[in-house]
Amino acid sequence: MIYLSTTYLGPVQQYGKIYQFADVCIETAENYQKQTYRNRCIIAGANGPLSLSVPLEKPDTLKCLTKDIRISGHGNWRHLHWNAIVSAYNMSPFFAYYQDDFAPFYEKAYDYLFDFNEQLRELICHLLDLHPTIHYTQTYQPEVENDFRERIRPRHPSKDDSFHPVPYYQVFSRKSGFLPNLSIIDLLFNMGPEGILILRDSISG
């Protein structure tokens, strides 16, 4: 069993853990943490890494459970995110193959971030032929086994001796070099079904 936070199109490291562990527990009962992969992902744009953040409604209280965080209905973020994804990956080998799977997520308004994230995760697991048994926490436990809830993060990630990013083809690698641990969609759109082999080879120990 491994414990993970919910993520928006989470990084390769996150899905490496899902590959590695048959039982995955997704945290729902934590207080929401800002500036994490819970509402943001990083893709490879023409000018380097590009961060995409889902705008959220400000909770009524200082502390709010992750499962109760609502997506903001203001702004044009779904259109902007999808345009950024298309711009970044329309020349990738597998984007045309998968785009119809992802496009509906940017056409429908979701109320809750957790629901949005989880439906995307289910799709990605299906496309990568990952079949974890998913559990959801009912209460928050500060100490659990294989706790990666706060270790996989965009800023100051914790050392992870079992994750060693394996280079793979990226559209802009000649310009930017290989960019490790981007959103899982970078791996999926560039490598397709072989993405699971990259996950396998990135995990050791």
d(CA 27, CA 1): 12
Cβ neighbours of residue 69 under 8 Å, at least 6 residues apart? 32, 38, 39, 56, 57, 59, 112, 113, 114
Domain ranges for the chain, please list them: 2-202
Residue 38: which of 152, 129, 134 has the closest Cα? 152
152-177 burial: b if 16+ Cβ within 10 Å, else e? bbeeeeeebeebebbebebbbeeeee
Question: Which residue in the block uniquely carries the two structure tokens 């995409």?
Answer: 52
User: How much is the pLDDT for 54?
Assistant: 97
Calculate the alpha carbon distances from 153 to 5, 63, 150 in Å.
Answer: 10, 20, 7
Kindly tell me if the per-residue pLDDT of 159 is higher than 90. no
Q: How far is the CA of 18 from the CAs of 2, 48, 67, 73, 114, in angstroms?
A: 8, 27, 20, 31, 17
Name, in order, each residue with C-beta under 8 angstroms of 100's C-beta and a sequence gap of 6 or more.
none
Q: Is the pLDDT of residue 205 over 80?
A: no
Asked if residue 204 has pLDDT above 80, the reply is: no
Distance CA 9, CA 15 (A): 10
> Is residue 148 scored above 80 in pLDDT?
yes
What phi, psi does 16 have (nearest 5°)? -65, -40
Give the tens place of pLDDT for each residue, 170-191. 999 988 899 999 999 999 999 9
Is the per-residue pLDDT at 147 higher than 90? yes
Q: Across residues 9-33, what is the average pLDDT?
A: 96
195: confidence class by pLDDT, cuts 50, 70, 90 = very high
Residues composing the chain: 205
Per cent of the chain over pLDDT 90 is: 88
What is the residue-averaged pLDDT of the chain?
95
Task: Locate the DSSP E strands across the chain.
Answer: 2-4, 23-26, 40-45, 48-53, 133-136
Per-residue pLDDT at 101 exceeds 60: yes
| DSSP bridge partners of 45 | 48
pLDDT score, position 73? 84
C-alpha–C-alpha distance, residues 18 and 15, integer Å: 5
